[in-house]
């Protein structure tokens, strides 16, 4: 009797496992990333840990601003970093949009080569689009 119950239980477990696998693949879309995509993503930058709120320097080592935000374009690529210039503790910042292609990472710092604080202050102020 114990053997029959054990075999029946194992059959149910196997059937449940098969239905879970089928439920994940049969006609449904995948919501998360695959293991290989996870490994690839893990080699990139974390916006929260390594970009947002971080200081931006020019190529001579002067601090010229801070990254306040990242803009994701409709094609799902990060297109601009919003840099706060001037201000104190985020108050009174002059925010400007800078294409992310302009930034470099040098010795653990985010660098905007050729930029100065004055040049960024003269750039057009960034304004978020209204919905």
Q: How far apart are the first and last CA of the chain?
A: 67
H or E element: which one contains 120?
A: helix 117-122
Q: Report how far apart, in Å, the C-alpha atoms of 67 and of each of 14, 29, 43, 93, 122 are.
A: 51, 35, 21, 11, 17
**SS3 label, residue 35:** helix
37 domain-assigned = no
Residues 9 and 65 in one domain: no
CATH number for the domain spanning 74: value is 2.30.30.240
Residues 55 and 118 reside in one and the same domain: yes
Q: Does residue 113 fall inside a structural domain? A: yes
β-pair partners for 111? 57, 104
Contact 99, 79 (CB under 8 A): yes
pLDDT-derived band of residue 96, with 50, 70 and 90 as boundaries? Answer: very high
Say whether both 55 and 111 belong to one domain. yes
- Name the residue with higher pLDDT: 53 or 26: 53
Phi, psi of 72 (to 5 degrees): -100, 125
Do 25 and 77 have their domain in common? no
Residues 5-15 have a mean pLDDT of: 38
Q: Coil, helix or strand for 112?
A: coil
Same domain, 53 and 111: yes
By residue range, what is the domain housing residue 69? 46-122
Same domain flag for 66 and 117: yes
Residue 88 confidence class, pLDDT cut points 50, 70, 90? low
pLDDT, tens digit (0-9, with 9 covering 90-100), for 27-52: 566 677 677 777 666 666 677 778 88
Query: Do both 52 and 24 map to the same domain?
Result: no
Q: Distance between CA 112 and CA 98 in Å, rounded?
A: 9
Total residues found in the chain within this entry: 131
Residue 40: inside a domain: no
- Residue 54: count other Cβ atoms within 10 Å of its Cβ: 14
Q: What number is the average pLDDT over the span 84-98?
A: 81
In a domain, 71, yes or no: yes
């Amino acid at each position: 009797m114990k053997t029959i119950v054990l075999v029946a239980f194992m059959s149910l477990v196997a059937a449940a496992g098969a239905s879970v696998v089928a439920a994940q693949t049969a006609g449904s879309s995948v919501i998360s990333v695959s293991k290989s995509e996870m490994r690839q993503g893990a080699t990139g930058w974390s916006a929260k840990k390594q970009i947002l709120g971080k200081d931006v320097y020019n190529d001579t080592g002067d601090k010229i601003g801070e990254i306040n935000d990242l803009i994701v374009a409709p094609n799902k690529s990060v297109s601009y970093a919003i840099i706060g210039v001037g201000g104190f503790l985020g108050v009174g910042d002059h925010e400007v949009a800078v294409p992310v292609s302009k930034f470099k990472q040098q010795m653990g710092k985010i660098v905007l080569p050729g930029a100065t604080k004055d040049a960024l202050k003269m750039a057009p102020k960034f304004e978020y689009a209204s919905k």
